[in-house]
Structure 1
Amino acid sequence: DMPTPTLFTEMDTLQQDGDELEWKESARWVKFEEKVEEGGERWSKPHVSTLSLHSLFELRTCIQTGTVLLDLEGYSLPQIVDEGMLSPDLREKISFVLLRKHRHQTKKPIHRSLADMGKASGGGARHAQSRSMNDISDTPSTDQLRNKFMKKIPRDAEASNVLVGEVDFLDKPFVAFVRLAQATTLGGLTEVPVPTRFLFILLGPTGKAKSYNQIGRAIATLMVDDLFSDVAYKARDREDLIAGIDEFLDEVIVLPPGEWDPKIRIEPPKKVTSADKRKSVFSLNELGQPNGAAGGGGGLAEDEEIVCVCGRFCGGLFLDIKRKIPWLLSDFYEGFHIQSISAVLFIYLGCITNAITFGGLLGDATDNYQGVMESFLGTALSGTVFCLFSGQPLIILSSTGPILIFEKLLFEFSKNNGIDYMELRLWIGIHSCLQCFLLVATDASYIIKYMTRFTEEGFSSLISFIFISDAIKKMMGSFKYYPINTDFKPDYVTAYKCECLAPDPSESILSLDWSQLSKKECVKYGGSLVGNTCKYVPDLALMSFILFFGTYSMTVSLKKFKFSRYFPTKLRKLISDFSIFMAIMTFVGLDRLIGLKTPKLIVPTEFKPTRPDRGWIVLPFGKNPWWVYLASFVPALLVTILIFMDQQISAVIVNRKENKLRKGCGYHLDLFWVGVLMAACSFLGLPWYVAATVISIAHIDSLKMESESSAPGEQPQFLGVREQRLTGILVFVLTGVSIFLAPILQFIPMPVLYGVFLYMGVASLSGIQFWERIKLYMMPSKYQPDFPFLRHVPLRRVHLFTLVQIICLAVLWVLKSTVLAILFPVMAGRTGLNTSRPVTTAERRPNRKRSHLRWEL
């Protein structure tokens, strides 16, 4: 079935303005109710409509006894009135009333003093002016076209107009419910230039204005109800409409009058309950299709295919390529968006910080055979190639802890056994590349279908905790190198000293007065600094902490700024998108303003290997015995398992259903290019790279899209992720040219980047059910959120399941702190693998009822 359009409902009430009648807008609905405040100069905040039960019963009676015209042919309000099957004696009077001027609520108040001046200038002129404005224009007015409220209404929306009022020529109420055959723009009838599909008219004798107003609010509320709007579009007769009202009454909740104040406005909920359950009970199929409903054909069917065993050579790889070819052009032009700029800046800073950190650690572990320069070049090369050709370009490649441990063990083994490290490493990379090709050719990635939520949450949580702990550890290192002098005693300042002592008297420069040298001069001439204040730098540790925590706090605050009430929506969203960049620039400026020598980002300035005795190309033969080339197959197998599990678990987390990725995944294609890059980096003597979970999640978060138009009071709807290759390519190209940006990057304090790392770790925890269940331990039952799994699973079972995950996470945390860290991805995958059968998409839905409880929530 084609979806029914969103309805914008406006209610106008008939009012007496001097001697003239006019329709004045009193309320409007898109999803929630907004009404004109008593002062008449502003709209109320959006709120949930509260209706009296009596008004709903009266509305049912009105539909049951009044005029119901379905699929009426009409292109103007006068024509609709003429064809409305009214009796001749009422047609002229009702037509006169319905065609009065409609005054819509605007931001600017009505200047009644000017209107009074118009009255005072003469009644004849006023009458002539009103007569010229009596009939509604057939075309939208300029005010309608300029109305900014259109931004809140979906493009294909239609309008339903509710007209209620009291007149003196009727003895009993006149009710008409009209559905036009085609949505028609009825000039100035509606506040915004939206075509009208429905009209509800209620005119009655004087004295019951409040009752008419409540009935009008009742039908307006029903028209924006998801189920009743479907009924209104598909109804074939009066009985279908009454059935829709009865279904609405079945769901209505009545509040006792003495225990609740009807004047209280209920805030719109953050998450609106779907009407799918109501629709499944109330069959709409018998009502037929909506007559002339807007909207094109249905969208593309959801691609449920993830991975499969094709039974032919490289079948999965060819399917991945076939799936990606139709999106090739959009992968580039969809990246041309201002949101991509903020994503590039964010991920770029994360990547260069990671490259510097791992480059330094690799240099220490391998005696500078691989250092910061190799880390920068490898990050740029691997990341650019992967983002250009991979199946999931949103994945960010980086060095990981297990690879670092493996490199350290491999270097120590080579050194102790007299084997050339770089040549051995090259053959391990070649064997690992061939093994990855074998896994791709045999569709081995099918194993990921056995990974449950247990695996995904355990892996992503541990990586997030590692990011958080590393950021804090690096920050605490500033207190070690630049300690705070907590034992400072003002009365004993004479006891604090730092002296420069001469080196060996036989080799010292006798002409120097060592006691008068500065700190730099003392170090320059080979002297030694002695004293308890030699390493003390005032306020440096505290300043580093301010930069660290300030960057994190400001980023979090600005990220949430789009949900605040200040400034227009577009400006709030822009500030949120550029929150990290703004936080970095703010605290870089603060650091420059204060002028303390905080530790800065150090970027290589020359394009040459870190170790002078090695070149950029590693030759495969000549330095090791022939058997080493064959024996390297064994450690290569360990590397392949490590790479496979690390890559595919991260890819599963990135491709999860919650991210609403529409272009499909490419597990086989991703692994193919990881294998190719393993061999390429081995020949160039560069580090090996694999999917980085936390940075990839941060990349996705920075590219999330929300609906541009949302009903007043409704939270913006998450639409998906801006899937493209451009941001990743730009990030890694910038990483490669960072050598030339060193004069600029050297102004960035390292504590600021540690704050970015902390934000990445904390932000990646959001949305992880495991983290939400941990917080349940500290909440009394009555304050716990209304999670779907708490409705179906006893709380003690939830706590038991969470406890098992915590224990497994603790084991992995201990494991990663030892030499056995190279087994971490294997253990993470094995901890949660369900070896009995694949986990289907339906089983991943948390609200699905099952006959028994499995260890998966």
Structure 2
Amino acid sequence: MGKPFVPLHGVATDIKARLACYKQDWIGGFNSGYRILAPTAYIFFASALPVIAFGEQLERDTSECYAPTFPVKILIIDYHVLYSVFNFSCLENSIILSCILWTDGVITAVQTLSSTAICGILQSVIGGQPLLIVGVSEPTSLMYTFMYHFVKGRTELGSELFLAWVAWVCVWSAAFLFILAAIGACSFINRFTRISGELFGMLIAVLFIQQAVKGVVYEFWVPEREDPTLEQFQHAWRFGNGMFGIVLTFGLLWTAMKSRRARSCRFASGSIRGFIADYGVPLLVVLWTLVSYAFRASVPEGIPRRLFSPNPWSPAATRHWTILLDMFKIPYIFILAAVLPAFVIAVLYYFDHSVSAQLAQQEEFNLRKPTAYHYDLLLVGGMVLVCGLLGLPPSHGVIPQSPMHTKALVTLKKELVRNKLVKRLKSNLKQKASVANPQTDLQDEYQGTESPLPYPCTPRALKELQFNSVPRSPEIPKEDAVFDFEKHIDLLLPVEVKEQRLSNLLQSLMVGGCIAAMPALKRIPTSVLWGYFAFMAIEGLPGNQFWERVCLLVTAPSRRHKVLRNNHLMFVRTVPFKVIACFTLFQLAYMLSCFAWTWIPVGGVMFPILIMLLIPARQHILPRFFNRKHLQELDAADYEETALPFDLAVKEAEAEGLGKVNVEAQDEEAMPKVVTSNQEEVRHSYTFRGQTDSHLGAPTPHFPHQAHVPASSAP
């Protein structure tokens, strides 16, 4: 019989597991010193700028226009100022208004920043997984736009009671999320295999690229609610604004991509290259903003276009704080009607938040501290409730910011461990320059770079990492190999993440500080924002196997064998190219279908439902079309039993004509899968003499039964 159902069992387990390492979460952050500022600044811009953009979008979508039914006569005070707001005709000392007046948006960037800051602080302080970045997302923006148009067309509600009705929607959504957390719905997360998570991540990247392209094109148009007769909106100046916007967009994109790779540059010292790699992207946003003022004296006001948001202390930005008083003005029938959009929001947040958490805790990151899916989902329900009662759009886990945060902490952890380890080795290896096997010598020193974590944290990754030998030239005998810790230490360090809460807390406080700094943020050109959107999309692609398979698919057949010479994933050798192509084409076609679905005006917000359908498809349909072993290599599933005894694996391999297995007796010790610091997947696998990777068009060299040395380490 199965275990009896216990409500909130998963939540209680998560809380107990995370409390065991809660103190270390803060100690680890403060022990990082000033270096914690690098990932903080990096993720702050990645979090704040999209939230401001979504706030502007909501401000446009929740504003109203109306035309006076009678002429309005006012005295001329400064008709130049009035001309910039109204279409009018002058009659002696008066102006006859025949205009379209616009009200302030119900939701602005002030509200989206407030929500992101409040929820980010809650996630960093009392959340289960501090690596998870929360914020207002585009699906939230689309749902609020849909609900606003529903409310303003109802005489019983109107736009005045929009936030009050949405507060009831958030109450119902929070109730649904509480129920999902209580029944352990996040146990379903192990069904979210790589095909679902990476497809969702790729789709988000495509949506960010789409937003960047639309923004660049929009630079050539006359903005809504602006007077097209103004000088900056004349054809010549609109064209100039668009071209200058292209320069700013691609300038930021190109320089940001270069700065993130500054560590591998051959120019300047290591400290300067590290500074550019850590702080280059935020500084480039400031730099390109300054460039936008280079021609200010010779162009009309408004070129280039800049971010817009109301004063944070204006009535439009502060009226939502008292929305709780208006909730009881909503008719009962509309309180019940709020259940439908609330259910949609709950499903969206359940999926988005779970996948964001999963991508931030991928196996490649070698995280040591336990997950907290159930508790974090419960906390999201609390965030939705708090935001709804405050009149704010709710926040939840977002992509690509969450995996970007983890990747930034990988670099931080590597620098901290490397500096400590090199310092120890300098004192210990002075009298021992020749090292045949660095495993024994480095083990104790590596473990000494950090205090052990309490249960249920896993041991440090180096305990599972086994070395063949120090990288050396073929003519150098193994016993004469010299271990140069300055050159070789990076190859021996596995991927580790600085798991702490401080960076998330600091970036959330900085997002909150943006509210007071809105006058300064309004100086950032919108074209710089589009370049940053494109940068975020491209930055999330490395490490995505879906993207790497797409690149392999478009590689010329005559050049595919070169893939084997560089760092590559194991399925490139073990899975035929035709199988890789078919699987990738299926995933690509499905992603394009989901992308097309997002163009549906109302139903577009339901695109995560299509991705959730991949779960039963992966479990029941794909195994009918793909070999079980190939499918496990391309999309490993935790719920599948795939391990075979060694003798059966040998017989099965020989039966399939792969050649005779050559296994040396001294190499029979099993080696687990590890991910090294250069993101290469290392697996213990038996190879076959004379086997050919015919699907890649190149012979396979024979590798010994041990971990191989990355190609980049060869002298």
CA-to-partner distance for each residue in 1:543-595, whole Å, 9 max, x for gaps?
A: 32222212121121121121123344343223211121232233233334444
Q: Which residue of 2 is the match for residue 712 of structure 1?
A: 487
Distance in 1, Cα, partners of 2:112 & 2:256: 27
Q: 1:310 to 1:619 in 2, by over 3 A?
A: farther
Cα distance in 1 between the residues matched to 2:228 and 2:331: 48
**Counterpart of 1:765 in 2: which secondary structure?**
coil
Shift of 1:694: 0.8
> Could you tell me which amino acid in structure 1 is paired with residue 264 of structure 2?
F
Displacement of 1:838 in angstroms is: 6.1
Quick one: which amino acid aligns to residue 539 of structure 2? Answer: A
Give the letter aligned to residue 618 of structure 1. L
CA distance in 1, matches of 2:282, 2:505: 19
* Cα deviations by residue, 1:767-802 (Å, 9 ceiling, x for unpaired): 111111111222234522134212221111110000
Q: Which protein has greater RCO, CA pairs closer than 8 Å, 6+ apart?
A: 2
Q: Which residue of 1 aligns with 2:599?
A: 817
Per-residue CA deviation, residues 162-221 of structure 1 (Å, 9 max, x unaligned), is: xxxxxxxxxxxxxxxxxxxxxxxxxxxxxxxxxxxxxxxxxxxxxxxxxxxxxxxxxxxx
The amino acid that maps onto 1:480 is: W
Please show how residues 635-654 of structure 1 align to structure 2 within 5 Å: 635-654=341-360
- CA gap 1:436/1:612 in 2 versus in 1, 3 angstroms: closer
- On the 8 A contact 1:600/1:746 being kept in 2, the answer is yes
1:372 to 99, 103, 109: 109
Q: Match of 1:759?
A: 535
Task: Count matched residues.
Answer: 501
The 3-state SS of whatever aligns with 1:536 is helix
SS for the counterpart of 1:610 is: helix
Query: Are the counterparts in 1 of residues 115 and 135 from structure 2 also a CA contact under 8 Å?
Result: no
Instruction: Map 1:552-563 onto structure 2 (within 5 A).
Output: 552-563=253-264
Describe the SS at the equivalent of 1:600: coil
The separation in 2 between residues aligned to 1:450 and 1:629, in whole angstroms, is 35
Counterpart Cα distance in 1 of 2:278 and 2:641: 34
CA distance in 1: counterparts of 2:274 and 2:494, whole angstroms: 14
Q: Contact conserved, 1:808 with 1:831, CA < 8 A, in 2?
A: no
Query: Given the superposition, is the C-alpha separation of residues 592 and 829 from structure 1 closer, same or farther in structure 2, using an over 3 Å criterion?
Result: same
Deviations along 1:739-764, whole A, 9 cap, x unmatched?
A: 32234334433322322221111010
Q: TM-score, normalised by structure 1?
A: 0.54
What amino acid sits opposite 1:432 in the alignment? S
The amino acid of 1:764's aligned partner reads G
Which residue matches 2:665? Answer: none
Distance 2:597 2:238 in 1: 37
Assess, with a 3 A threshold, how the Cα gap between structure 1 residues 572 and 644 changes in structure 2: closer, same or farther: same
Deviations 1:447-490 (A, max 9, x none): 111111110111000001111221222122223359xxxxxxxx
In structure 2, how many angstroms separate the alpha carbons of the residues matched to 1:756 and 1:443? 37
Given that residues 309 and 446 in structure 1 are in contact (C-alpha distance below 8 angstroms), is that contact kept between their aligned partners in structure 2?
A: no
Find the aligned partners of 1:651 and 1:531 in 2 and give their Cα distance: 45
Alignment partners' CA distance in 1, 2:233 and 2:604: 39
**Residue 615 of structure 1, CA deviation:** 4.8
Aligned equivalent of 2:386: 680
1:26-65 deviation line (CA, Å, top 9, x unaligned):
xxxxxxxxxxxxxxxxxxxxxxxxxxxxxxxxxxxxxxxx
Q: Equivalent of 2:590, from 808, 828, 838?
A: 808
Selected match of 1:454 from 171, 183, 195: 195
CA contact (8 A) 1:603 1:745 kept: no
Measure the CA separation in 2 of the matches of 1:575 and 1:842. Answer: 46
1:321 aligned to 2:15? yes
786-795 or 539-548, which moves further after superposition?
539-548
Q: CA deviation at 1:649?
A: 1.4
Indicate which of 577, 581, 585 corresponds to 1:795.
577
Partners in 1 of 2:385 and 2:253 — Cα distance?
A: 38
1:405 corresponds in structure 2 to 142
Per the alignment, in what secondary structure is the counterpart of residue 773 of structure 1? Answer: helix
Q: Distance in 1 between matches of 2:143 and 2:232?
A: 41
Separation in 2, partners of 1:809, 1:742: 37
**Structure 1 residue 840: Cα displacement:** 4.5
Give the conservation status (yes or no) of the 8 Å contact 1:350–1:753: no
2:125/2:505 contact within 8 Å kept: yes
Taking a change above 3 Å as real, the CA distance of residues 848 and 813 of structure 1, as seen in their structure-2 partners, is farther
Structure with the higher strand share, 1 or 2: 1
Aligned counterparts of 1:360 and 1:728: Cα–Cα separation in 2: 24
The CA deviation string for residues 116-155 of structure 1, in whole angstroms up to 9 with x for no partner, is: xxxxxxxxxxxxxxxxxxxxxxxxxxxxxxxxxxxxxxxx
Instruction: Provide, for residues 400-452 of structure 1, a one-character-per-residue CA deviation record: whole Å limited to 9, x for no partner.
Output: 23222222222222233434333332222112112211111111111111111
Distance 1:791 1:389, change over 3 A: same
- Check the 8 A contact 2:320/2:390 in 1, yes or no: no
Q: Does the residue aligned with 1:317 lie in a helix, a strand or coil? A: helix
Alpha-carbon distance in structure 2 between the residues aligned to 1:782 and 1:775: 14
CA 375–843 in structure 1, closer or farther in 2 if over 3 Å, else same: farther
The one of 48, 51, 56 equivalent to 1:360 is 56
Q: Which amino acid aligns with 2:209?
A: I
User: Match for 1:839 among 635, 638, 641?
Assistant: 638
Alignment of 1:232-247 (within 5 A): none
Report the AA paired with residue 798 of structure 1. I
CA RMSD of aligned residues (A): 3.1
Alignment check: 8 A CA contact 1:363 1:372 kept: yes
Task: Report the equivalent of 2:47.
Answer: 351
Aligned residue for 1:517?
Answer: none
2:175 matched residue in structure 1? 434
The aligned counterpart of 1:133 is none
* Counterparts of 2:501 and 2:354, CA distance in 1: 19
CA distance in 2, matches of 1:734, 1:530: 37
User: TM-score when scaled to structure 2?
Assistant: 0.65
Preserved CA contact (<8 Å) 1:654 1:697 = yes
Deviations 1:702-753 (A, max 9, x none): 2223252454256453532222222222222122222322343344333223
SS at match of 2:20: helix
Q: Quickly say closer, same or farther: Cα 1:622–1:565, change in 2 above 3 A.
A: closer
Report the Cα distance in structure 2 between the residues aligned to 1:528 and 1:546, rounded to whole angstroms: 26
* 1:330–1:532 CA distance, 2 compared to 1 (3 A): closer
Query: What residue number does 1:729 align with?
Result: 505
| Cα gap change, 1:723 to 1:737, in 2 (>3 Å) | same
Bigger helix share? 2
Relative distance call for 1:848 and 1:417 in structure 2 (3 A) is farther
Letter of the 1:658 partner, please give it.
E
Q: Tell whether the 8 Å contact from 2:312 to 2:518 is kept in structure 1 after alignment.
A: no
**Structure number with bigger Rg:** 1
- Report the CA distance shift for 1:339/1:756 in structure 2 as closer, same or farther (over 3 A): farther
Residue 643 of structure 1 deviates from its aligned partner by 1.1
1:667 & 1:532 partners in 2: Cα distance? 50
Q: Distance in 2 between matches of 1:594 and 1:340?
A: 37
Which residue pairs with 1:3 in the alignment?
none
Select 2:36's aligned residue among 332, 340, 343: 340
C-alpha change, 1:633 and 1:749, in structure 2 (3 Å) is: closer
> Which one of the candidate residues 546, 555, 560 is aligned to 1:770?
546
The aligned residue for residue 371 of structure 2 is 665
CA deviations 1:212-271 (Å, max 9, x no partner) are xxxxxxxxxxxxxxxxxxxxxxxxxxxxxxxxxxxxxxxxxxxxxxxxxxxxxxxxxxxx
Deviations 1:623-654 (A, max 9, x none): 23223333433332222111111111111111
Which of 688, 691, 697 matches 2:403?
697
One-letter amino acid of the structure 2 residue matched with residue 813 of structure 1: F
Residue 577 of structure 1 corresponds to which residue in structure 2? Answer: 278
Query: What amino acid is aligned across from residue 381 of structure 1 in structure 2?
Result: I
Contact 1:360–1:372 (CA<8 Å) still a contact in 2? yes
Code of the residue aligned with 2:638 in structure 1: it is V
Alpha carbons 2:177, 2:377 under 8 Å: kept: yes
Within 5 Å, which residues of 2 pair with 1:201-280?
Answer: none
Q: Is the 8 A contact 2:169 2:341 kept in 1?
A: yes
1:541, distance to aligned residue in structure 2 (A):
3.0
Q: CA separation in 2, counterparts of 1:738 and 1:608?
A: 16
